[in-house]
Amino acid sequence: MNEASSGAPRPTAYRDAMCGAVPEEWVGREIRLSGWAHRRRDLGAVVFIELRDRSGIMQLAFNPDWTPADVLDAAAGLKAEDVITVEGTLAERPADAVNPDVPTGRLELRVTAMRRLSESDTLPILVAAPPDDELPDEELRLRYRYLDLRRPEFMRNFEVRHRAIAAARSSLSADGFLEIETPLLTRPTPEGARDYVVPSRVHEGEFYALPQSPQLYKQILMVSGFDRYFQIARCLRDEDLRADRQPEFTQVDAEMSFVDENDVFDVCERMLAAMWWEGIGADVSVPFPRLTHSEAMERFGTDKPDLRIAWELVDLTDSLRGIGFTIFEKVTAEGGRIRGFVVPGGGTISRSRLEALNGLAQKQGAAGMLWVKRGAEGWSGGPARFLKGAAGDQLARERGINEGDLLVLVAGADAETSPALDVLRRTIATEVEAVDETANGWLWVTDFPLFEADAVTGAATASHHPFTMPSTASATELLEDPFSVRARAYDVVYNGWEICSGSIRCHDPALQEAILQVLGFSREETRDRFGFLLEAFRYGVPPHGGFAVGVDRAVTLMVGAASLREVIAFPKTTAARGLMEDAPTQLGESELDAFGLRRRSS
Ligand code: ASP
């Protein structure tokens, strides 16, 4: 790892080194340290206080043998989280006091002078809680975020985050990319979410939109000839928040000219490998395997497959169609399929658990989950009766279902069964520990459909965004059968999470017009929303493409955090509130007035 990217600070007016990084060679020297009073232990006349800063801990030893009486008195009055500066002699701890778990666990500072730089009030949440203490309620922690952030886990998370971003910067810089900022006050962007808007005071009644991504600007930078752009970009999307979403998030956003997919993948893979290496010392092997969207859906039921799970979905429609089981007859008669997967050794999963998994499948929109187990006495489970004899033997042979195995089945239309099969595969694999934690499931998913049908209206929406190049060459084809057209869009999936997406962009005016037509944009709307981009394209646009990596998600995965909130310094709650600063807030009448806004009278 490149330690220089988060290297040790030089000595300052207040300290010779950071607490957790005092070198052992300094034993015997007089040194000065500063930080927060962490834990304390009082052994009568002798007091130990841990001095903490970002780097770690140094044990301070106050002892009448070397500490003057007034300093002992001051130490007695110190409270948790007071900020102090101390001087003393660096010494080795007595052998029985060595703590092998901390880098400075063999050292202590024998304090001869101390000054309190600031005092802490009584803490609303403990910083130095006992190791097994449960964390306080998250709302309270978010309210006092600055105290929560003092915990060492956070220090590590943000160090990893910093190193990963620094690695992305240097990897892209080495590949000839220029870091260029794009505006925050802009027009609506076409990422498909709702915009945050900012009223203009100068232009009463008009609004800026905050960017959902720098998409349009980065494409225009390609028209300008910058050739390779990147930005550590803040993106804002006003969505109804689901469990682990944030209204603002960070992307490593990049765009490049005169490229096809292979060129983009190469740059992106090396950048991700650098981020993981610098971030956590993980060796990521490139190139990543590639799967088309259809293959991913067929083999895993999702476009974000977790490749650490070896089980794949199989289509059993032909094997099970004729066995006489009513559900199968009905589903196949309606054109549905019977798909499933084998859980080796899954025979031990209890009936009640399988019943609960059936509920889980239904929650995902499937009619239900069926199962059969193969035991010493033959098959058991819902359709078991129909598997006696040749049909069952053939199934076992063809699908490698051995004694003790479980076969999970979901029947119906793919749109209903795929989500269920995906969730069942991941849930059962986690429960029976079939996720290979030592593996790294990196892959590209490519060839997404260009359009998706809106679940409610059936209208076409862009599956990536409207500026993605279709795989088809002709606008006529695209207009005739839009839902069959594939996009030159791609995602990077890591262990079942989408952490990057991008596309080769459409730089052909006829195709672009056809796409916008399918999406239902009138000429006026097109001109109004994206006119500046399309106009720019009239003056010589190079073929171009790019990607954006979700930094928050990437770092969450690197450090194994439970939530994005653990790698974002000041996150919002799932209800999009900032609890520490108390945002959003109401504006007073006069402020509203300045924007020409009036509160709706209720
Ligand atoms: N703008 C896209 C996004 O935010 C990424 C890209 O296509 O480069 O997902």
Residue of 176, 181, 195 whose CA lies nearest to 253: 181
d(CA 219, ligand 1 centre) in Å: 11
Rounded Cα gap, residues 109 and 58, in angstroms:
7
Cross-strand bridge partners of residue 32: 87
Other CB atoms within 10 A of residue 103 CB: 15
Distance of CA 498 from the midpoint of ligand 1 (Å): 12
Q: Is the beta carbon of 191 within 6 A of some atom in ligand 1?
A: yes
Ligand 1 mean position, distance from CA 547 (Å): 6
Sequence-distant (≥ 6) Cβ neighbours of residue 405 within 8 angstroms: 342, 343, 344, 345, 346, 347, 373, 374
Beta-carbon count within 10 A of 202 CB? 6
Q: Which atom of ligand 1 is nearest to the CA of 214?
A: 1
Tell me the best of 177, 189, 195, 213 to mutate to test the pocket of ligand 1, counting ligand atoms within 8 Å of each CB and taking the most.
Answer: 213
- Ligand 1 atom nearest residue 502's Cα: 7
| Structure confidence by residue, pLDDT tens digits, 210-239 | 999 999 999 999 999 999 999 999 999 998
Helix (H) or strand (E) holding 108: strand 107-118
**For the CA of 503, the nearest atom of ligand 1:** 7
The confidence band for 364, taking pLDDT boundaries of 50, 70 and 90, is very high
256 C-alpha to ligand 1 centroid (Å): 13
Q: What integer pLDDT is reported at residue 527 of this predicted model?
A: 84
Q: What is the DSSP string of 377-417?
A: TEEESGGGGGGTTHHHHHHHHHHT--TT-EEEEEEE-HHHH
Mutate to test the pocket of ligand 1, among 228, 237, 250, 465 (most ligand atoms within 8 A of CB): 465
- Whether 504 lines ligand 1, by a CB cut-off of 6 Å, is no
Question: Cβ(548) to ligand 1 under 6 A?
Answer: yes
d(CA 102, CA 89): 20
Q: Give nearest CA residue, ligand 1 atom 9.
A: 501
Q: Where is pLDDT greater, at 241 or 230?
A: 230
pLDDT digits (tens, 9 = 90+) for 423-478: 999 999 999 999 999 999 999 999 999 999 988 898 999 998 899 999 987 899 99
Q: Is the CB of 546 under 6 A from ligand 1?
A: yes
Ligand 1 atom with the shortest distance to the CA of 251: 4
Atom of ligand 1 nearest to the CA of 218: 8
- pLDDT tens digit string along 523-567? 888 888 888 999 999 999 999 999 999 999 999 999 999 999 999
Tell me: the pLDDT tens digits for 426-435? 999 999 999 9
Quick check: CB of 67 below 6 Å from ligand 1?
no
Tokens of 35: 């930080």
Instruction: Please tell me if the CB atom of residue 503 comes closer than 6 angstroms to any atom of ligand 1.
Output: yes
Provide φ and ψ at 29, rounded to 5°: -85, 155
Q: Whose CA is nearest to atom 6 of ligand 1?
A: 502
Closest ligand 1 atom number to CA of residue 254? 8
**DSSP type of residue 587:** P
Please write the tens of the pLDDT for every residue from 157-191. Answer: 999 999 999 999 999 999 999 999 999 999 877 77
Residue 263 reports pLDDT greater than 90: yes
Question: What Rg, from alpha-carbon coordinates, does the chain have?
Answer: 30
